[in-house]
Chain A
């Protein structure tokens, strides 16, 4: 695991240009209560990076825009998407963050949008629970948690400027194969 660059997270915060639809500002209380994660799961890993998957559900009347994430479990977190680049699927930071439409859902999955944990501060073993915080565009925060599981899927190449190889993500799985 190489040192992360805080600038990435900062840039993401300021780069967000989307605004909540539907006019009025969403109060922090309302948006916190209206956003939840169904079937959430975090991929087990010994070190390096990992990801959270699940279904973000917005039960509110306004769109919710997730702009950043933080957790004690990782030095840095990023909001990622997976796109095709030169015939290969690669993951990169998602411009504008995740938009969860009012009354709608946003899927976080291997091979698609997901929340990255980078620079794990401790081993994440199956059976544990990981907690993290999403910051929304309106400045409010939502705390989420999900169980850790061994997950095979999701081995995309990362195109960020962090010096990581996709193999890092596999380290936890590979060792537990023994």
Chain B
């Protein structure tokens, strides 16, 4: 971008903070876990001094895959749906993705976007990731509809759906995640500003998740507002299974190493759910609420539900209409996609109900093959449907990651 090679050290912002950053850059090291650490305070001497661990952690932006997918789930998220301006064509999209990529790269490193005053807001990276996905409309604007994977379209209409335009669809979807709400808010706003010559933000859906580390045990995933452990059957990080389920390895060339993403905004009737007893709630789900353990564990795997177990009267212990049975269907036990969901709670909604629920996020290589069958089974007969209503739905194709000199979507647009 610049006429001169600019190293990451040089990218540290100007002024005193920048000089301090240069002085101590050599001390930054790799810490156990997902990220590098680097000093974040103006004097550069006391990383982590904000009192919570992890605020100075940096998740590398560049790579074969975009960050924010196989990345350990952060606590805070914003999903941003943008509509392209009517006159945006392929050349503009190259410019747009160049700007977006550079802005996201800088924010991930704890740097303000180019041209923004260094207010200090960006200085806490907190494992920030920015993940960009292309909707059907973006490929159409580029004149590249024929390059779209077959599943890049609205999901089939499900009977339970009550979709609203204000939460559905986007030409460009950004997933912004970090372990700090203020970091997410600043990144979301900064990115939207940088894109405003090309696209307008139509909706932002903010979500939160409990840090996995706060819950006992590695297998405990995200907990939704019913108290269910969501994504119990999820591929683990750094496994062949995750690679196989998530990353595209056939179809359009530009999407290899990318993935499909589904965002569903699912309203949950918390008040009515509360009226159920614990036993009823667990039967609806098919798992224990406290820790997500199966009502009856499979003899082969303590994390898997034994759907065939019978109780003393010969009836199935896990009811046929339970969520776990419907979700799995005839498929073999084990994960079929990667879930990375967040909760939302926007306070009182219409008619005195609470506007709260799940921002259900799925990553999978083939949305039609991996997600749609699951959703169809749940639509047909999942008791959980009595308490949940999908009100938003977006499907995007997430291009692969890029190198330090590249931009996201380069394989499609360049």
Contacts and interface: CB of A to CB of B under 8 A. Distances in A.
A127 B96 CA distance: 6
A37 B114 contact: no
Contact of B1 (A110, A129, A153): A129
A153 B196 contact: no
A57 B348 CA distance: 54
Interface string A26-55: 000000000011111101100000000111
B25 interface: no
Given A147-B102, A153-B117, A131 B11 contact: no
Given A146-B2, A149-B114, A152-B193, A38 B11 contact: yes
A145 interface: yes
B381 interface: no
Contacts of A36: 4
Nearest to A145: B3
A105 B15 CA distance: 9
B329 interface: no
A75 interface: no
Nearest to A151: B115
Interface string B5-17: 0100011011100
A107 B196 contact: no
A128 interface: yes
A143 interface: yes
A105 B22 CA distance: 13
A7 B110 CA distance: 44
Nearest to B14: A55
B94 interface: yes
B11 A39 contact: yes
Contacts of A54: 14
Interface in B176-206: 193-194, 196-198
Size range of the chain B interface in the assembly: 20 to 34
B95 A37 contact: no
B60 interface: no
Interface string A102-145: 00010100100000000000000111110100000000000111
B99 A149 contact: yes
A176 interface: yes
B68 to A, nearest CB: 22
Contacts of B95: 125-128
A151 B92 CA distance: 18
A150 interface: yes
Contacts of B96: 126-127
The residue among A53, A55, A126 with the most chain B CB atoms within 10 A of its own CB is A126
A153 B102 CA distance: 19
Please tell me the size bucket of the interface on A. 20 to 34
Nearest to B3: A145
Contacts of B115: 41, 43, 53, 149-151, 153
B2 A107 contact: no
A150 B95 CA distance: 12
A163 interface: no
A150 B102 contact: no
B98 interface: yes
A126 B14 contact: no
B18 interface: yes
A44 B113 CA distance: 15
B397 to A, nearest CB: 21
Contact of B4 (A37, A147, A149): A37
A84 interface: no
B196 A176 contact: yes
Contacts of A147: 1-2, 98-99, 102, 114
A147 B99 CA distance: 9
A99 to B, nearest CB: 17
B99 to A, nearest CB: 5
A97 to B, nearest CB: 20
A38 B15 contact: no
A44 B1 contact: no
A149 B1 CA distance: 12
A166 to B, nearest CB: 18
A177 interface: yes
B114 A39 contact: yes
B197 A38 contact: no
A37 B14 CA distance: 11
Given A144-B3, A147-B98, A153-B116, 6 more contacts: A40-B3, A55-B18, A107-B14, A126-B194, A127-B99, A149-B194
29 contacts: A37-B2, A37-B3, A38-B11, A38-B14, A39-B13, A40-B3, A43-B115, A44-B197, A53-B115, A54-B14, A55-B18, A105-B14, A125-B92, A125-B197, A127-B92, A128-B95, A144-B3, A144-B4, A146-B1, A147-B1, A147-B99, A147-B114, A149-B113, A149-B114, A149-B115, A149-B194, A150-B197, A151-B116, A153-B115
Interface of B: 1-4, 6, 10-11, 13-15, 18, 92, 94-96, 98-99, 102, 113-117, 193-194, 196-198
Q: Which 3 A-B pairs have the closest CB atoms?
A: A127-B95, A145-B3, A151-B115
